[in-house]
Amino acid sequence: MKHSVFYLVAAATLLATTAHAQGMGEDAAIARAQRDSARLPWTAADVQFMQGMIHHHAQAIEMCKMAPTHGASPSVQTLCGRIINAQGDEITLMSQWLKDRRQDVPAPTATSMKMVMNGKEMDMLMPGMLTPEQMKQLDAARGQTWDKTFLQGMIQHHRGAVSMVHDLFETQGAGQDEMVFKFASDVNVDQTTEIARMEKMLFAISIEGNGQ
């Protein structure tokens, strides 16, 4: 996640995270967010994206936390550590963005999100998120089987996040808020890069398996 440091620094200088870091109170942070939004307005689609991505990140972290107890290889454990650190920081930033705009901040849980479609409230998993059955299969695996199951699942997961970014930018008026734009762009680049890395890791496992 080579872009994460840039993202964290840039975001911290732009929005309410900076306000809090400098000792400003909650009211001042909200006022700062309001001024920023007057220049680059946020939309309902931005809010839904940030709320949904909190759940999305939470599941990725839950998956990665299995690595030490499920016999993951050192390389996969290293990948999992990076994901936990980066996405944990991003959850904090997304939560603060929502809070400063007086929007609901969902708990960072790997669950479905309530969505209203055709006037009806429905529970829906964000794109790419693993189903409860897939999570059970991952939890039941060990060793190289766990590595393979994890990589397949996280590739699916990352592709879903990339599709969420695409949908955001395809929504008229969305993605113009400075932090939302930087965050979504960072997700797109980082997770696309990681997909390629994980595909190589998965290929290496298949080659190793064929050689046995």
User: What are the DSSP calls for 3-48, one per residue?
Assistant: THHHHHHHHHHHSHHHHHHTT--HHHHHHHHHHHHHHS---HHHHH
Q: Considering only residues 113 and 170, tell me which one the structure prediction assigns the higher pLDDT.
A: 170
Inter-CA distances, 26 with 12, 15, 49, Å: 15, 12, 23
> Which pLDDT belongs to residue 15?
41
Please report which helix (H) or strand (E) contains residue 114, including its range: strand 113-117
Range of the domain at 118: 4-211
SS3 assignment, position 145: helix
**Domain of residue 20, CATH code:** 1.20.1260.10
Q: Considering only residues 102 and 31, tell me which one the structure prediction assigns the higher pLDDT.
A: 102
> Which pLDDT belongs to residue 38?
57
Window from 20-24, 60-64, 149-153 with minimum mean pLDDT: 20-24
pTM for the model: 0.79
Say if residue 25's pLDDT is above 90.
no
Strands 113-117 and 120-124: antiparallel
> Which pLDDT belongs to residue 122?
64
Q: In the chain, how many H helices and how many E strands?
A: 8, 2
> Which pLDDT belongs to residue 69?
98
The chain-wide mean pLDDT, for the chain, equals 86
> Which pLDDT belongs to residue 28?
76
> Which pLDDT belongs to residue 24?
54
> Which pLDDT belongs to residue 6?
39
- Which are the contacts of 117, defined by CB distance < 8 A and separation ≥ 6? none
> Which pLDDT belongs to residue 18?
42
Question: What percentage of the chain's residues is helix, strand, coil (to nearest 5)?
Answer: 70, 5, 25
Q: Are 39 and 30 in contact (CB under 8 A)?
A: no
pLDDT band per the 50, 70, 90 thresholds, residue 11: very low
Q: Considering only residues 34 and 75, tell me which one the structure prediction assigns the higher pLDDT.
A: 75
Q: Which two tokens stand for residue 73?
A: 């290889």
Q: How many domains does the chain have?
A: 1
Window from 46-60, 117-131, 176-190 with minimum mean pLDDT: 117-131
pLDDT tens figures, 81-131:
999 999 999 999 999 999 999 999 999 998 777 665 556 666 788 999 999
